[in-house]
């Protein structure tokens, strides 16, 4: 996919609206992980070096169209000021006359951060008047928020109807890295984990016709195991998905795509650092116990498949990695991917967080900043915000 890159944009002396992805964790009023802010810096520096005035637009969390004090962007402005080495002015809203006046009063080279765009319900519905109001202060629009490209929102799609639109440097880097999966080297192995099977069901359905093997762990595996008749104790499963999962399994058989499920699991009565821990068959978890990580036999088998792969895509941790007794599976699979000669794509979100935590980030071919967007692209889905940036 060829995009209109920001290098083509005439931004000298202009007000540039930049859709960034600053949806980062906040802890006690401070940014807990600034990786997404750091990822935006090349585009921001590129524009500032060309004497543009920057107006940054982002969401944070899911306020569902209401002002949520804990989801204001003020802590992000503080951290971005440090990263950029220049003041970032944070406004109290993202549209309206006060916002327009503040942007007009700013000088070339200034950076203004608008308030959480999702405080307005019109953002998610891409309401035309709201998109027009967002676009009004700008001369040029740059979309550098890859993690949002699967959303047809006002700040990702609507603004592009009113201003010349370009892809930021991060956006281009994401698309270039993921485009290698259009004709991947094989064997092509997908690793699918995460807490909820529902969030990965569409990916599983589409990946069976694209990859050679799928390794399934995390909470996703427990629902899949339940669908094939396994006893999973008191593990969280989505009973409503069982028929669909059986259909996906049948599709995988037709496509000759191997699906590998856990043989054993690390279980506990509760998810706690002090929990009693056992390892048992993944198909015979006792009542009262829950599966929280893949077991050592599963790790070995998954590592074997990874070592044989030429291309690996990984989305979703394989256990509750944030809680130490249940982190080993995700860590060891991360190490196997890092040691592999395969081209490896990590699908952002919690998977990227885990890889970074274990000090493996620089040993992966690419870590995407967008979990959902990365999955949608891998599945061959049309991404609304990208369509607006096509060359």
| Sign of the CA dihedral with 59 first, then 60, 62, and 64 last | negative
User: Residue 387: inside a domain, yes or no?
Assistant: no
The beta strands (E) that lie in 105-216 are given as: 111-113, 140-143, 165-167, 188-192, 213-216
Domain of 256? 184-378
pLDDT at residue 17 in the model: 98
The answer to whether 280 touches 268, Cβ cutoff 8 Å, is no
Catalytic residue check, 36 = yes
Question: Residue 180 burial (CB < 10 Å; 0-12/13-18/19+)?
Answer: middle
Residues ≥6 apart with Cβ < 8 Å to 354: 317, 321, 330, 331, 334
Residue finishing a domain among 141, 174, 207:
174
**Which run of H or of E encompasses 54?**
strand 53-57
The domain boundary, picked from 174, 201, 232, lies at: 174
Please list, in sequence order, all residues whose beta carbon lies within 8 angstroms of the beta carbon of residue 33, skipping any fewer than 6 positions away. Answer: 24, 25, 353
Omega within 30 of 0 (cis) for the link into 104: no
- Averages of pLDDT over each 10 residues, the chain, 391 residues: 91 98 93 92 98 98 96 98 97 97 98 98 97 97 92 95 96 88 92 91 89 96 96 95 95 96 97 94 97 98 98 94 94 97 88 90 89 74 84 74
* Domain endpoint, select from 127, 144, 174: 174
Q: Are residues 80 and 133 in the same domain?
A: yes
Torsion 228-233-235-241 (CA) sign:
positive
Q: Which CATH number fits the domain that encloses residue 306?
A: 3.40.50.1260
Is 372 designated active site?
Answer: yes
pLDDT at position 305 is 98
Q: Which of 19, 36, 72, 200 is catalytic?
A: 36
If asked whether residues 342 and 312 sit together in one domain, one would say yes
Pick the catalytic residue: 329, 348, 349, 370? 349
Residue 249 pLDDT = 94
- 380 noted as active-site residue: no
Separation CA 368–CA 260 (nearest Å): 24
Given 193, 218, 348, 372, the catalytic residue: 372
Residues linked to residue 165 through DSSP beta bridges, in sequence order:
141
- For residues 104 and 193, state if they share a domain: no
Establish whether 295 is a catalytic residue: no
> CA of 327: how far to CAs of 124, 195, 266, 320, 331, in Å?
35, 14, 10, 6, 6
Please give the Cα distance from 175 to 104 (Å, whole number). Answer: 34
pLDDT of the residue at 87: 97
């Amino acid at each position: 996919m060829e995009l209109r890159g920001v290098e083509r944009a005439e931004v000298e002396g202009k007000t540039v609206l930049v859709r960034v992805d600053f949806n980062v964790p906040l802890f006690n009023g401070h940014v807990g992980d600034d990786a997404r802010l750091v990822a935006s810096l090349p585009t921001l520096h590129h524009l500032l070096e060309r004497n543009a005035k920057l107006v940054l637009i982002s969401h944070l969390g899911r306020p569902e169209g209401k002002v949520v004090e804990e989801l204001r962007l003020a802590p992000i402005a503080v951290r971005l000021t440090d990263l950029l080495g220049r003041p970032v002015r944070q406004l109290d809203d993202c549209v309206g006359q006060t916002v327009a006046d503040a942007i007009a009063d700013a000088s070339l080279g200034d950076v203004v951060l608008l308030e959480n765009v999702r405080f307005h319900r019109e953002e998610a519905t891409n309401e035309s008047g709201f998109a027009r109001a967002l676009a009004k202060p700008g001369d040029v629009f740059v979309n550098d928020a890859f993690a949002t490209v699967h959303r047809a929102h006002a700040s990702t799609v609507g603004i592009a109807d009113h201003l010349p639109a370009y892809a930021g440097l991060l956006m281009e880097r994401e698309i270039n890295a993921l485009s290698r999966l259009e004709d991947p080297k094989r064997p092509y192995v997908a690793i699918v984990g995460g807490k909820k099977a529902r969030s990965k069901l569409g990916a599983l359905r589409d990946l069976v016709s694209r990859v050679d093997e799928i390794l399934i762990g995390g909470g996703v595996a427990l629902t899949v195991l339940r669908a094939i008749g396994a006893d999973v104790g008191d593990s969280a499963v989505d009973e409503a998905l069982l028929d669909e999962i059986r259909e996906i399994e049948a599709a995988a058989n037709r496509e000759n795509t191997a699906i590998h499920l856990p043989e054993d699991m690390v279980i506990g009565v509760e998810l706690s650092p002090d929990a009693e821990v056992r390892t048992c068959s993944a198909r015979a978890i006792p009542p009262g116990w829950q599966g929280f990580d893949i077991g050592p036999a599963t790790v070995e088998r998954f590592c074997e498949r990874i070592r044989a792969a030429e291309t690996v895509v990984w989305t979703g941790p394989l256990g509750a990695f944030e809680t130490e007794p249940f982190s080993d599976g995700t860590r060891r699979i991360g190490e196997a991917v890092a040691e592999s000669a395969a081209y490896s794509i990590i699908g952002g979100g919690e998977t990227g967080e885990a890889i970074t935590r274990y000090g493996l980030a620089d040993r992966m071919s690419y870590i995407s900043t967008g979990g959902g967007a990365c999955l949608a692209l891998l599945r061959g889905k049309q991404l609304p915000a990208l369509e607006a940036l096509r060359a």
